[in-house]
Chains A and B, each alone.
Chain A
């Protein structure tokens, strides 16, 4: 299968539970650097949970996550708390997770992408502002920089969130349903940006719903339903029994 030298993210025997309910059981997979992977599965299958587990937002009951960067490998273990892995992963949450009536401008939201690097007390300077401007340009939202976020459409909100993640400049990007509730035009704009990120060597894992677009957008598919039902290149998965099995119960 994949050569270990190019593997950037390795998830080994991962299990996650909320209270006593097991949400994900014994999930193992490897992601190659510079790929775009779709995470698919029915509602409640644990797709978002998988992303949150990799981000350290939910505790791992069992398992290991290894992140292999150019210079080092960092790991997170079940039961143990390690922050080092989470510092190298960017996250684009669902736009519904924040309050869009919040009194803040588009530019300020994008600038938040620099906060992790800045740490406590330091304020964003010229360099950070330049990076935010560049990211807004990339997603085609520079004209909206000084607008209040309450004036944005669903697609524009998603672009702003993507710009914020771009500013972070991480190796791995996890996106939770970025195409939810947006129009076709915006979707193609977003996909174009994601493809560019991929060309720049970034690795993307995206929770996705529309099975029709799998072949156009992605390299490989991760089928999740409480466990890993299957994983492989898009052409092997689409039309195979694995998709049926994923959505069958």
Chain B
């Protein structure tokens, strides 16, 4: 039972982390950038692993986060160049870097356990195996602590820079006039996105991070009248989806991450029908 509870805890905290960051990504219309980042961080992990030869090295997280921010830089740089279509920039950068990671893994990583499938789909079922112990006391799964740390970082950053985040997402031109450094805020947000993505890797996996980051905030966008409400509603939606998702996954013995993302999609659909019906019915 506690095994299920621990998995539920990891998934819930991860979901809340994703909702916090995702709210501002949805507001900035950067949903598809998350998809790109979730894939390219994999190259950061692979490169850091090839240098350190250690799957548990903190450099993996640093390398992955740096690669995520690098992706945003590369895409935005390309979007401002001639002869490059803005939407094609994402479509070029992300498969290129992700493919590079796969080539590197298959070339040099044959003998190690760096499973491409696990990285893409995640595996919550095994998330509780690695424990966080202090003096032989078991303080719970390592991933739960990582998830809580990342969630805390996200919450603190958003609390400190809420004013700037709202200004730069609502009116980037005025943010520039106000000298609020919209570029710095933007890259700060992207750094947190990368960090959250990397930490969610082992729990929900790269593809489903997109679902967790965009689904609940996009649902909240239809209901909220303020950013504060949007943050709150997306955290609630995420927690509901996680609870239903984890329960169903154990009942039916299916992929936990997959089930959570499916529930998120269903909730989004239901809220859209409700909203559409109310405004057009």
The smallest beta-carbon distance between A20 and chain B, in angstroms, is 11
Interface segment, one of A4-12, A85-93, A135-143: A85-93
Q: What 8 A-B pairs are tightest by C-beta distance, nearest first?
A: A116-B178, A103-B224, A148-B225, A98-B171, A91-B177, A102-B170, A103-B230, A93-B173
A-B contact pairs, 30 of them (CB 8 A): A19-B82, A55-B177, A57-B176, A83-B179, A86-B179, A87-B179, A89-B177, A91-B173, A102-B27, A103-B27, A103-B221, A103-B224, A103-B225, A103-B226, A103-B227, A104-B170, A104-B227, A105-B226, A108-B166, A108-B226, A109-B170, A112-B171, A112-B174, A115-B167, A115-B180, A116-B178, A118-B163, A120-B161, A120-B164, A124-B163
Known: A104-B227, A115-B163. A97 touches B173 (CB 8 A): yes
Complex Cα gap A185–B33 (Å): 43
Partner of B173, one of A57, A104, A116, A121: A57
* Residue B160 CB within 8 A of the other chain: yes
Enumerate chain B interface residues (CB-CB to A < 8 A): 27, 82, 160-161, 163-164, 166-167, 169-171, 173-174, 176-180, 221, 224-227, 229-230
Q: Contact at B177–A104, with CB atoms within 8 Å?
A: no
Contact with B along A111-142 (1 / 0, CB 8 A): 01001101011011000000000000000000
Complex Cα gap A121–B229 (Å): 21
The smallest beta-carbon distance between A107 and chain B, in angstroms, is 10
Range for the number of chain A residues in contact with chain B: 20 to 34
Complex Cα gap A196–B206 (Å): 57
| Residues of chain B contacted by A183 (CB below 8 angstroms) | none
Measured CB to CB, the nearest residue on chain A to B223 is A103
Complex Cα gap A109–B229 (Å): 16
Measured CB to CB, the nearest residue on chain A to B230 is A103
* Residue A99 CB within 8 A of the other chain: yes
| Residues of chain A contacted by B229 (CB below 8 angstroms) | 103
Complex Cα gap A205–B82 (Å): 33
Q: Contact at B164–A86, with CB atoms within 8 Å?
A: no
Q: Contact at A97–B171, with CB atoms within 8 Å?
A: yes
The smallest beta-carbon distance between B151 and chain A, in angstroms, is 22
Q: Contact at A116–B170, with CB atoms within 8 Å?
A: no
The smallest beta-carbon distance between B171 and chain A, in angstroms, is 5
